A and B are shown apart, each in its own frame.
Chain A
Amino acid sequence: MTKHPDEQRLELLQGTLDMLILRTLQWGPQHGHGIGQAIRARSDELLKVETGSLYPALHRLVKRGWLKPEWGVSEANQRAKYYRLTTAGKAQLSREQDRWSQLVDAIGRIMNPAPASKE
């Protein structure tokens, strides 16, 4: 994997971190480190989640009832907190996914107007 210089790294869009976490946990329970790594790997290293944002976000999602934490043992043979998507979390994910596609669609129409719209 090629390393991206910092200039090429993208800033996380405000309000998308929760959605990315929920989406990542769709594959199964994961600990904070794993979630961060997964987001980085799946974005081809373009997105890097700062731990200073990631962990507070995880706790916020637990508080809202979208994630359920449980202690387990990690690959490093140490206790780690795993986060599991709850039923309410799944519902929230689908809501956010819908909103996200609408947003992308709407912004796309403004930035790249279709030529047909001239009629």
Chain B
Amino acid sequence: MRPDQHDLDEEIRGHLALSLKERIERGEDPTSARLAALKEFGNVTLTRDSMRGVWRHRWLDAAEALARDIRFALRALLHAKGLAATVVVTLALGIGANAAIFSVVRGVLLRPLVNRDEDRLIYIRQSAPGLGAENTTFSVPELNDLKSRVTTISAFGDFSTVDFAMVGLGGEPRMVKAGVVGGSFFDVMGLRPVLGRLLNEHDDGPKAAGAAGPSASVRALPPWSASSSHRYPIRPTPRSSQTW
């Protein structure tokens, strides 16, 4: 179906022959008739190209043009080696710097919290504007009320902070800012220990092993040491000077 080059040439030759014959029959001189026939036909190459163009696939044309462009670009780059090298180095540095900055931003700012189900985690606070009290603590009976009556929340992890003086870290006693948590706190937050165990329900209540004082504690590591935590041996739990 698709005509080849020979086909197209043959068709054009047939046309010219007919045109020539007609002119000669009309009484024209063969030489001038031939020229006139060619002149009337116009641009043979262009016509043949557009005949072939009808049969060409458009995407094939585009692919050919793309290959030509790439070859041309490579040749041009070979002629300007210095410029090409400079551009490549500039791009490499630019891309590298961007990648580095983005890694830092992602790690520090964008990485999600390590908590389990952070989208289900809520922070409950109470304030008494009339008394000028912002974000006050809950009493234990209040906590018990919440735990026993609120049905829309599946688990509570209660926490508070306390300052106490600690001795035994070698040297002077010092004030330590500590968090006091209920047994369910770490489970609710979905945190896992790097070493040892976390506090759980068994540490709660007056019958807990360390009821007389906080014998069980959890030490937080600075975030940047999380991966090299084995270098931080946990010392025996320090005894608090405060009795509970």
* Contact A59 B14, CB 8 Å, known A52-B43, A76-B21: no
A34 to B18, CA, bound (A): 9
Which A48-65 residues have C-beta < 8 A from chain B? 50-52, 55-56, 59-60, 62-63
A81 to B12, CA, bound (A): 9
Chain A: number of interface residues, binned into ranges:
20 to 34
A62 to B8, CA, bound (A): 14
B54 touching A60 by the CB < 8 A rule? Answer: yes
Check: A16 CB closer than 8 A to any chain B CB: no
Can you list 9 A-B contacts (CB < 8 A)?
A31-B14, A31-B15, A31-B18, A33-B19, A52-B43, A52-B46, A55-B12, A56-B51, A76-B18
Other-chain residue from B14, B21, B41, B55 in contact with A81 (beta carbon distance below 8 A): B14
A52 touching B18 by the CB < 8 A rule? Answer: no
A56 to B56, CA, bound (A): 12
- Interface residue SS majority, chain B: helix
Known contacts A52-B46, A81-B14; 14 additional CB pairs below 8 A are A32-B14, A50-B42, A51-B42, A55-B11, A55-B15, A55-B50, A56-B47, A56-B53, A56-B54, A59-B3, A63-B55, A74-B17, A78-B18, A81-B10
A74 to B46, CA, bound (A): 24
**Most chain A CB inside 10 Å of its own CB: which residue of B20, B46, B51, B53:** B51
B20 touching A76 by the CB < 8 A rule? Answer: yes
Point out residues on B near A: beta carbons under 8 Å. 1, 3, 7, 10-15, 17-21, 40-43, 46-47, 50-51, 53-55
B11 touching A80 by the CB < 8 A rule? Answer: yes
**Most chain A CB inside 10 Å of its own CB: which residue of B41, B53, B54:** B54
Check: A98 CB closer than 8 A to any chain B CB: no
B51 touching A55 by the CB < 8 A rule? Answer: yes
Other-chain residue from A33, A56, A60, A79 in contact with B10 (beta carbon distance below 8 A): A79
Determine the chain B residues whose CB is within 8 A of the CB of A74 once the complex forms. 14, 17-18
Other-chain residue from A52, A60, A76, A80 in contact with B42 (beta carbon distance below 8 A): A52
Check: A75 CB closer than 8 A to any chain B CB: yes
**Residue ID in chain B nearest A80 by CB atoms:** B14
**Residue ID in chain B nearest A34 by CB atoms:** B18
Determine the chain A residues whose CB is within 8 A of the CB of B51 once the complex forms. 55-56, 59
Shortest CB distance B73–A (Å): 32
Determine the chain B residues whose CB is within 8 A of the CB of A75 once the complex forms. 18, 21
B14 touching A52 by the CB < 8 A rule? Answer: no
Determine the chain B residues whose CB is within 8 A of the CB of A34 once the complex forms. 18
